Amino acid sequence: MGTEVDYAREIQELKRSMNAVILAHYYQESEVQDLADFVGDSLALAQAAAATKADVIVFCGVHFMAETAKILNPARQVLLPDLKAGCSLSDRCPPGAFKAFKEKHPGAFVVSYVNSSAAVKAMSDVIVTSSNAVKIVNQVPKDRQVLFAPDQHLGRYVMKQTGRDMVLWPGSCIVHEIFSEKRLVQLKVEHPEAEVVAHPECEAAVLRHADFIGSTKALLDYVLKSPKEKFIVVTEAGILHQMKKGAPDKTFIPAPPDNGCACNECPYMRLNTLEKLWRCMKDRTPELVMPEELREAARAPLQRMLEWSA
């Protein structure tokens, strides 16, 4: 009979002995979020990774997030509990096809969402996240054509907010694109007193029903501050953990996807588990490694993002 491992206790001990910091995204399972030193959206996590003095960054999120941490803080060892934790947006924008897309628009200013590979970032002028995309696109020189990749829905939302015309890469997120407008409207009828909050990766048909649109962190801040008591939340269901912790007396209803399930979870984010987190710290693998030339090329547009969003 195998002995039970107390993952939470062992992870805390490993964290101290390795001088590690655990960073987690809001879409991680609750147990992982509760063990993290910092839980945030992709911008806050990139800023935390850039600033940390810890020897090891244990990144509980998806591959592009851990890659961003390594690009911004190369002296640290970056561990990711499951290297297969990818992202549909990043996967649907292969560097070769992206290069061809760029070549069709010579002289354009290239804005890429952080949900992209290092190779795509390296071909971009500036990176954005969902929390700073509007602010950053507003700073792009007005005389330049803008290419935006890889999320067409975020791109369309940014176009609406900035009044800026952009050429969009036709990508989308497999989690946010399957929210059902019909089921959302039914929920609104059942709960007329609820406010709807949604992530800008959702389709425009869904976003038009939202009272507030923002990044995961912005949605969290909004529901905590709002005087309303009930919210329909249109993003990955992991964010509900921090919403319930921050406002235990409020009601949060996860918006349903169009696949018969009650709530919507990112299959990539959920590859990370408490057991894999413990194992990756104990064995110091899988580690995020990348060629220095690629890291340096991807650093400049990320650095520009941090400066433009300050």
Q: What residues make contact with ligand 13P under the rule CB under 6 A? A: 41-42, 115, 129-131, 173, 201, 215-216
Q: How far is CA 240 from CA 10, 165, 189, 292, in A?
A: 26, 34, 21, 38
Which residue bears the tokens 């910092």?
Answer: 38
Q: Which does 195 bind (CB under 5 to 8 A by kind): ligand 13P, ligand SF4, none?
A: none
**Contact of 71 with 298, CB cutoff 8 Å:** yes
Q: What is the DSSP letter of 151?
A: B
**Per CB under 6 A, does 88 bind ligand SF4?**
yes
Q: Which does 132 bind (CB under 5 to 8 A by kind): ligand SF4, ligand 13P, none?
A: none
Gap between the Cα atoms of 170 and 168, Å rounded: 6
Q: Name the packing angle between helices 274-283 and 7-18 (round to 10°).
A: 30
Q: How far is the CB of 33 from ligand SF4 (least distance, A)?
A: 15
Gap between the Cα atoms of 13 and 5, Å rounded: 13
The binder of ligand SF4 chosen from 60, 63, 236, 237 (CB under 6 A): 236
Q: Where does this chain touch ligand SF4 (CB under 6 A) — which range of 29-37, 82-90, 123-131, 152-160?
A: 82-90
Gap between the Cα atoms of 160 and 163, Å rounded: 5
In the shown chain, the binding pattern of residues 145 to 184 toward ligand SF4, with x for contact by CB under 6 A and - for none, equals ----------------------------xxxx--------
Q: Which does 88 bind (CB under 5 to 8 A by kind): ligand SF4, ligand 13P, none?
A: ligand SF4
Gap between the Cα atoms of 307 and 310, Å rounded: 5
Closer by beta carbon to ligand 13P, 73 or else 130? 130
**Per CB under 6 A, does 46 bind ligand SF4?**
no
Binding stretches for ligand SF4 (CB under 6 A): 62, 87-89, 115, 173-176, 201, 236, 266, 268-269
